[in-house]
């Protein structure tokens, strides 16, 4: 793999936004190539030669080998790199022991860039350069506690797939770097441009930053006791049911107080939080994968009313259900052209059937 070639606008003028991705030994390949494909996609897929010029750099300009064994040749060394508009610091196994010269360069260069971005454990390099102090940040869930110890003044949140705090953006592991890069493209070029790049990359669901790094099933521990495990599964299969602590305690044949204490101890979260996560996750999936109406989905997921579901979505995801569906539901595949079908002859004595157009109420549009 070789470094990228900086694009030029007509007339030879450099593009308005430069993106520099720093490399080092033991880097995670996808942390580099994911954001790189998003930014360079603006020219390949949209024809925007004025969008981004993407370059890569190592400490000394020499090739480095990724954690998976891929040899990557950079465009330049950091000493010759001009401070970019966007500085991207990927993660990887090598992030635990990088050249101090790279840390010094980050400390000097970051204040001269418009925004600084880390992917996965690249946050540790930003932390070592003093760029995370007092900021809300994230990283790969498995490294979050280590980042808390390394950067005690930072507010480490292990759940979101990416976090923006001022001009510093940090993201979770590997593919989350693609989500963050798409969000930056949307900020620069608009939503349509970001969605077009996502579709070309077959990234159908461009996830909002505050979406959790893993599903409720993966985030929660599995209870040790069978009655509690049965309750967990019951919640997933019946989000529309009465899922109060009292109702769930009856299913587990425990007192509400004993049930709530045991559930939190064995699952790692309260019953109420588990139920909230399951309902939100189920609603998101139905919005993404079905054409069901919002009112129907709200009933199926146990919200009761569309307004209750809207509040849950806005509080957790920052978008109302209708907006979430518009952003993240894949476009319907095109229908191949075919010869028009002949209308069926009406039955004797019966008028031809009329097909009513679907009606969306103002309330449905708003939600």
Give the phi and the psi of residue 165 in degrees, each rounded to 5: -140, 100
CA atoms within 13 A on the CB side of 354: 4
- Lookup: tokens for 109: 């260069």
- CB distance 56 to 74 below 8 Å: yes
CA distance readout (Å), 313 to 204, 253, 276, 283: 20, 33, 11, 9
Give the phi and the psi of residue 115 in degrees, each rounded to 5: -155, 150
Catalytic option among 72, 98, 120, 286: 120
Give the count of beta carbons closer than 10 Å to the beta carbon of residue 215. 13
Strands 136-137 and 155-156: parallel
| 301 is known as an active-site residue | no
Using CA atoms, how far apart are residues 121 and 95, in angstroms rounded to an integer? Answer: 6
Give the phi and the psi of residue 21 in degrees, each rounded to 5: -110, 120
Residues marked as catalytic: 120
């Amino acid at each position: 793999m070789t470094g990228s070639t900086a694009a030029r606008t007509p007339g030879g003028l450099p593009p308005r936004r430069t993106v520099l991705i720093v490399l080092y030994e033991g880097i995670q390949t996808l942390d580099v190539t994911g954001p790189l494909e998003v930014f360079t996609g603006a020219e390949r897929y949209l024809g925007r030669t004025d969008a981004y010029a993407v370059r890569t750099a190592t400490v000394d300009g020499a090739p480095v080998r990724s954690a998976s064994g891929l040899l990557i040749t950079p465009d330049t060394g950091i000493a010759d790199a001009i401070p970019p508009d966007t500085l991207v610091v990927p993660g990887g196994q090598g992030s635990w022991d990088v050249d101090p010269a790279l840390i010094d360069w980050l400390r000097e260069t970051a204040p001269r860039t418009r925004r600084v971005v880390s992917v996965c454990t690249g946050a540790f390099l930003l932390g070592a350069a003093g760029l995370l102090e007092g900021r809300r940040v994230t990283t790969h869930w498995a490294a979050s506690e280590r980042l808390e110890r390394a950067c005690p003044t930072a507010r480490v949140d292990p759940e979101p797939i990416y976090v923006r705090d001022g001009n510093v953006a940090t993201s979770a592991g590997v593919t989350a770097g693609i989500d963050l890069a798409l969000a930056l493209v949307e900020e620069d070029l608009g939503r349509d441009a970001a969605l077009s790049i996502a579709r070309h990359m077959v990234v159908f669901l461009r996830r909002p930053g505050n979406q959790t790094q893993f599903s409720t099933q993966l985030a929660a521990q599995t209870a040790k006791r069978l009655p509690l495990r049965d309750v967990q599964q019951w919640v997933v299969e019946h989000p529309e049911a009465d899922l109060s602590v009292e109702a769930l305690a009856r299913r587990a044949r425990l007192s509400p107080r004993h049930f709530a204490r045991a559930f939190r101890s064995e699952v790692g979260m309260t019953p109420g939080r588990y139920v909230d996560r399951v309902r939100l996750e189920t609603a998101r999936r139905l919005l993404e994968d079905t054409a069901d109406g919002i009112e129907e989905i709200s009933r199926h997921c146990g919200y009761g009313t569309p307004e209750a579901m809207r509040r849950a979505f806005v509080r957790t995801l920052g978008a109302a259900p209708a907006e979430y569906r518009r952003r993240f539901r894949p476009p319907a595949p095109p229908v191949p052209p075919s010869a028009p079908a002949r209308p069926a002859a009406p039955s004797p004595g019966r008028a031809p059937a009329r097909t009513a157009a679907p009606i969306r109420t103002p309330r449905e549009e708003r939600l």
